[in-house]
Structure 1
Amino acid sequence: MTISVAPPLTSAPPQFDLEPQAHVIASDAEAIEVAKTLAAEFVAGAALRDRERILPAAELDRFSKSGLWGITIPKSYGGAGVSWVTLTEVIKLISAADPSIGQIPQNHLAAVDVIRATASEEQKKLWFGRVLSGYRFGNAFSEAKSKHVGAFETTLTPDGDGYRVKGEKFYATGALFAHYIHIGAVDPAGKVNLAIVPRDAEGLDIIDNWSSFGQRTTASGNVRIDNVRVEPEGVIPAYLGGENPSTNGAVSQIIQAAVDAGIARGTIEETIQFVRNNVRPWIDSGQEHGYEDVFTIAQIGDLKIKLHAAEALLEKAGRAIDAIVVEPTEEGVTAAAIVVAEAKVLTTEIAILATNKLHELGGTRSTLGQYNLDRHWRNARTHTLHDPVRWKFYHVGNHALNGVSPPRHPWS
Structure 2
Amino acid sequence: MSNTPADAHYPLSVPDAHIISSDAEAIEVAHKVAAFLLEGDAERDRQREVPAEVVDVFSNSGLWGITVPKEYGGAEVSFATLAEVITIISAADASLGQIPQNHYCLLEDIRLQGTEEQKAWFLGLALKGNRFANAISETGGKTVQDIQTRFVSEGDEVVINGRKGYCTGSLYAHWLGVLALNADDKAHLAFVPRRTPGLTVVDDWSSIGQRNTASGTVLAENLRVPAFNVFKTYQSYENPTLAGPIAQITTAAIDAGIARAALRDTLSFVRDHARPWIDSGLDKASEDPLTIIQIGKLSIQLDASEALLERAGRVLDRERENPGEDGVARASVAVAKAKVLTTEIALEASNRLFELGGTRSSLARHNHDRHWRNARVHTLHDPVRWKYHVVGNWLLNGVNPPRHDWS
Q: TM-score, normalised by structure 1?
A: 0.96
Matched, 1:132 2:127: yes
Match of 2:371 in 1: 376
Quick one: distance in 2 between partners of 1:117 and 1:332?
A: 17
Which residue, 106, 111, 128 being the options, matches 2:106? 111
Percent identical pairs in the alignment equals: 54
Quick one: distance in 1 between partners of 2:121 and 2:5?
A: 26
Q: Give the stretch that moved more between structures: 153-162 or 343-352.
A: 153-162
1:266 deviation in Å? Answer: 1.1
1:56 deviation in Å? Answer: 4.5
Q: Tell me the amino acid that sits aligned with residue 227 of structure 2.
A: P
- Asked if the contact 1:16–1:58 (Cα under 8 Å) also holds between the matched residues in 2, the reply is no
Match of 1:148 in 2: 143
Match of 2:12 in 1: 16
Q: Tell me the amino acid that sits aligned with residue 12 of structure 2.
A: F
- Asked if the contact 2:333–2:391 (Cα under 8 Å) also holds between the matched residues in 1, the reply is yes
Which residue, 257, 262, 276 being the options, matches 1:262? 257
Which residue, 3, 6, 22 being the options, matches 1:4? 6
Match of 2:297 in 1: 302
Quick one: distance in 1 between partners of 2:211 and 2:52?
A: 13
Q: Give the stretch that moved more between structures: 230-239 or 350-359.
A: 230-239
Residues 153-212 of structure 1 show CA distances to partners (whole Å, capped at 9, x for unaligned) of: 001211111211110000010111111110111111211111111111111110001110
Match of 2:309 in 1: 314
1:14 deviation in Å? Answer: 2.3
- Asked if the contact 1:142–1:170 (Cα under 8 Å) also holds between the matched residues in 2, the reply is yes
Residue 170 of structure 1 aligns to a residue in which SS?
A: strand
1:51 deviation in Å? Answer: 0.6
- Asked if the contact 1:3–1:13 (Cα under 8 Å) also holds between the matched residues in 2, the reply is no
- Asked if the contact 1:20–1:65 (Cα under 8 Å) also holds between the matched residues in 2, the reply is yes
Match of 2:195 in 1: 200
Q: Tell me the amino acid that sits aligned with residue 361 of structure 2.
A: S
Q: Give the stretch that moved more between structures: 353-362 or 315-324.
A: 315-324
Match of 1:9 in 2: none
Q: Tell me the amino acid that sits aligned with residue 296 of structure 1.
A: T
Match of 1:293 in 2: 288
Residue 181 of structure 1 aligns to a residue in which SS?
A: strand
Q: Tell me the amino acid that sits aligned with residue 318 of structure 1.
A: G
- Asked if the contact 1:14–1:55 (Cα under 8 Å) also holds between the matched residues in 2, the reply is no
Q: Give the stretch that moved more between structures: 379-388 or 49-58.
A: 49-58
Quick one: distance in 2 between partners of 1:107 and 1:57?
A: 19
Residue 388 of structure 1 aligns to a residue in which SS?
A: coil
1:3 deviation in Å? Answer: 7.3
Matched, 1:244 2:239: yes
1:252 deviation in Å? Answer: 0.5
- Asked if the contact 1:263–1:351 (Cα under 8 Å) also holds between the matched residues in 2, the reply is yes
Matched, 1:25 2:20: yes
Which residue, 76, 97, 110 being the options, matches 2:92? 97
- Asked if the contact 1:3–1:208 (Cα under 8 Å) also holds between the matched residues in 2, the reply is no
Quick one: distance in 1 between partners of 2:83 and 2:257?
A: 9
Which residue, 12, 32, 35 being the options, matches 1:37? 32
- Asked if the contact 2:65–2:74 (Cα under 8 Å) also holds between the matched residues in 1, the reply is yes
Residue 177 of structure 2 aligns to a residue in which SS?
A: strand
1:349 deviation in Å? Answer: 0.2
Q: Tell me the amino acid that sits aligned with residue 245 of structure 2.
A: A
Q: Tell me the amino acid that sits aligned with residue 9 of structure 2.
A: P
Residue 128 of structure 1 aligns to a residue in which SS?
A: helix
Match of 2:83 in 1: 88
Which residue, 166, 170, 177 being the options, matches 2:172? 177
Residue 218 of structure 1 aligns to a residue in which SS?
A: coil
1:324 deviation in Å? Answer: 2.1
- Asked if the contact 1:246–1:333 (Cα under 8 Å) also holds between the matched residues in 2, the reply is yes
Which residue, 257, 271, 275 being the options, matches 2:266? 271
Match of 2:390 in 1: 395
Residues 277-311 of structure 1 show CA distances to partners (whole Å, capped at 9, x for unaligned) of: 00111011111100000010000000000000000
Aligned length: 404
Quick one: distance in 1 between partners of 2:402 and 2:54?
A: 36
1:322 deviation in Å? Answer: 1.0
Quick one: distance in 2 between partners of 1:250 and 1:202?
A: 34
User: What does residue range 219-234 of structure 1 map to in structure 2 within 5 Å?
Assistant: 219-234=214-229
Q: Tell me the amino acid that sits aligned with residue 33 of structure 1.
A: E
Q: Give the stretch that moved more between structures: 298-307 or 319-328.
A: 319-328
Quick one: distance in 2 between partners of 1:317 and 1:287?
A: 43
1:57 deviation in Å? Answer: 2.7
Quick one: distance in 1 between partners of 2:51 and 2:146?
A: 31
- Asked if the contact 2:12–2:174 (Cα under 8 Å) also holds between the matched residues in 1, the reply is no
Quick one: distance in 2 between partners of 1:188 and 1:277?
A: 62
1:138 deviation in Å? Answer: 1.1
Q: Tell me the amino acid that sits aligned with residue 325 of structure 2.
A: E
1:13 deviation in Å? Answer: 2.4
1:16 deviation in Å? Answer: 2.8
Quick one: distance in 1 between partners of 2:337 and 2:5?
A: 39
Quick one: distance in 1 between partners of 2:5 and 2:322?
A: 42
Matched, 1:68 2:74: no
1:134 deviation in Å? Answer: 0.6
Match of 1:161 in 2: 156
Q: Give the stretch that moved more between structures: 183-192 or 37-46.
A: 183-192
Quick one: distance in 2 between partners of 1:4 and 1:325?
A: 43
Residue 287 of structure 1 aligns to a residue in which SS?
A: coil
* Structure 1 residues without counterparts, runs of 5 or longer: 6-11
Q: Tell me the amino acid that sits aligned with residue 4 of structure 1.
A: A
User: Which consecutive aligned stretches of 4+ in structure 1 deviate over 3 angstroms post-superposition?
Assistant: 2-5
Match of 1:353 in 2: 348
Quick one: distance in 2 between partners of 1:215 and 1:278?
A: 26
